[in-house]
Amino acid sequence: MRHPRQLTIFLASVSVLGVLLVFTSAAVASSIPTVATGVASSVSTHSATLSASVNPNGLSTTYAFQYGTTTNYGSQTSTKSIGSGSTTLSVQVAISNLSSGATYHYRVVATNPLGTAAGADATFASIAELPAVVLGKPSLVTDSSFTPTGTVNPSGRSTTYTFQYGTTAAYGLQSTPVSIGSGTSVKAVSATIAGLAPGTLYYYRLVATSPAGTSASAGVSVVTTGSALPTTGPPPVVSMMAAVRITASSVQLNGAVNPEGDQTTWHFEYGLTSNFGLETTPATMTGLGIRPINAAITGLRASTTYSFRLVATSAGGTYIGPTMTFVTKKAPLPFPRALTVATRHSHGRNGVWVTVTGSLVPPPETGPQLCTGAITVAFQRNDPRGVTFMSLRTRVRSNCTYTLTTWISAGHLHGQRHFGITARFAGNASLRETAKRVTVGV
């Protein structure tokens, strides 16, 4: 039986040990934060909101977002506290002063006393800024011409401008497109529009197009000097418009024109919006009756919706067909630049160990993010039949390499001192299938 004083000391020791066990258990349960990078939202030309989830795992934790145009990031939001709980919390931070039309990389980073955790890299693209256009007052108005003026700011992207004009608010004609580069300053623009009828009201506007899209000013009107001439006949009629032979980068636009007896000039207008901004080379016809016409267009974007319409003009006036659309096809996937295969082997009893290694080389100007997917490695006898006696699968690693090791029994080789190996990459959402064969001597 314990003495009362001994019993008191024993119970106190047990109590201290229990506290130590509780403290040790809590310390073991804690860890560096658990983080996951989320999606970007509210993306605009110069700003975006980044999101993530963070679990402090029981210790006082702060977090921030790193971001930039490369995976080196270079910018970071201010550090914020998220407390010391043990549940996963959603966080958001708004960033600004972004470049327009640029791809940004970002990730979340969280730190507590045990260390720092970084989320996976994610990307978003800021919205490209459209050209800015301002239409000025016309100058040098005569009975057959006038000079519209204005200003265009390319907003940092290669830009062309044109003046659309016509005897109705649908315009139908345009000046020759002119390139003004890709700067960020305002540039004065103008064009001489000739071949007009005297004493006639013309509508016109300024249109600028860049890879970001098309901007158009409000339309205004001008009246040429002199007395109006009587029309010689009805305006031409256009019909039967269709887009055919559509590929990822080209299309053929079809239609029909009835000149109604007068010399008639026709062309197709097309572009990324209903402002169009581009046109085919004008062609001329005369006579009566419907005549089929077509125009081939190249240099289009893949998987993109285009608007188009047919315009015909004669002395009788201008006829503008309805606006229609077509969608270019998806661009074909590129092949990898290379698929490499290397082998090494070691002999064992009644067979050989073979290790196959290699790499998938993405196309130029792409990165290792394309290195995903399966590799099938087929082993073939080297006799006249060359049949496959074994087929194994592995996967491409994130560093674009692959490897597998297998045992080949002597029975598989049928006495041959060589056998073939074919590595076949099955392709993925960004790359096409490809294969490489080598011969191995044993």
Q: Please say if the pLDDT value at position 398 is more than 80.
A: yes
Query: What is the predicted pLDDT for the residue at 11?
Result: 44
Burial of 261 (0-12, 13-18, 19+ CB in 10 A): middle
Query: What is the predicted pLDDT for the residue at 24?
Result: 40
Work out the pLDDT band at 27, boundaries 50, 70, 90. Answer: very low
The kind and range of the H/E element at 5 are helix 4-29
Enter the pTM of the model.
Answer: 0.54
Query: What is the predicted pLDDT for the residue at 86?
Result: 93
Find the length of the chain.
442
Cα–Cα distances (Å) from 34 to 56, 75, 159, 214, 346, in that order, read 7, 22, 46, 45, 44
Query: What is the predicted pLDDT for the residue at 14?
Result: 42
Cα–Cα distances (Å) from 13 to 6, 16, 18, 20, 412, in that order, read 11, 5, 9, 11, 70
40 vs 63: CA distance, rounded Å: 17
Q: Quick check: 440 and 419 in contact, CB under 8 A?
A: yes
Cα–Cα distances (Å) from 413 to 160, 199, 392, 407, in that order, read 67, 93, 17, 12
Work out the pLDDT band at 384, boundaries 50, 70, 90. Answer: low
CB atoms within 10 A of CB 388: 11
Nearest alpha carbon to residue 376 among 421, 334, 345, 408: 421
382 vs 12: CA distance, rounded Å: 80
137 vs 250: CA distance, rounded Å: 37
Query: What is the predicted pLDDT for the residue at 231?
Result: 57
The whole-number average pLDDT for the span 13-36 is 57
Query: What is the predicted pLDDT for the residue at 17?
Result: 43
pLDDT, tens only, 401-413: 999 999 998 888 7
The whole-number average pLDDT for the span 374-392 is 85
Query: What is the predicted pLDDT for the residue at 179?
Result: 95
Work out the pLDDT band at 383, boundaries 50, 70, 90. Answer: low
58's CB contacts (< 8 A; 6+ apart) are 26, 29, 30, 84, 85, 86
Query: What is the predicted pLDDT for the residue at 18?
Result: 44
Q: How far is CA 252 from the centre of its chain?
A: 25
216 vs 209: CA distance, rounded Å: 9
70's CB contacts (< 8 A; 6+ apart) are 105
Q: Please say if the pLDDT value at position 60 is more than 90.
A: yes
The whole-number average pLDDT for the span 136-161 is 93
The whole-number average pLDDT for the span 126-135 is 91
434 φ, ψ (degrees, to nearest 5): -155, 160
Work out the pLDDT band at 316, boundaries 50, 70, 90. Answer: confident
CB atoms within 10 A of CB 422: 16
The whole-number average pLDDT for the span 141-164 is 94
82 vs 34: CA distance, rounded Å: 12
Of 227 and 280, the structure prediction assigns the larger pLDDT to: 280
- In the chain, the percentage of residues whose pLDDT exceeds 90 is 62
How high does pLDDT run on average in the chain? Answer: 88
Query: What is the predicted pLDDT for the residue at 333?
Result: 87
Structure token digits, residue 190: 């103008």
Of 128 and 308, the structure prediction assigns the larger pLDDT to: 308
Task: Out of 27-31, 50-54, 183-187, 243-247, pick the least confident.
Answer: 27-31
12's CB contacts (< 8 A; 6+ apart) are none
Query: What is the predicted pLDDT for the residue at 229?
Result: 63
Task: State whether residue 196 is helix, strand or coil.
Answer: coil
Task: State whether residue 246 is helix, strand or coil.
Answer: coil
Q: Please say if the pLDDT value at position 15 is more than 60.
A: no
Query: What is the predicted pLDDT for the residue at 4?
Result: 52
pLDDT, tens only, 179-198: 999 989 999 999 999 988 88
Of 177 and 315, the structure prediction assigns the larger pLDDT to: 177
Q: Please say if the pLDDT value at position 5 is more than 70.
A: no
The whole-number average pLDDT for the span 345-362 is 91
Query: What is the predicted pLDDT for the residue at 317?
Result: 82
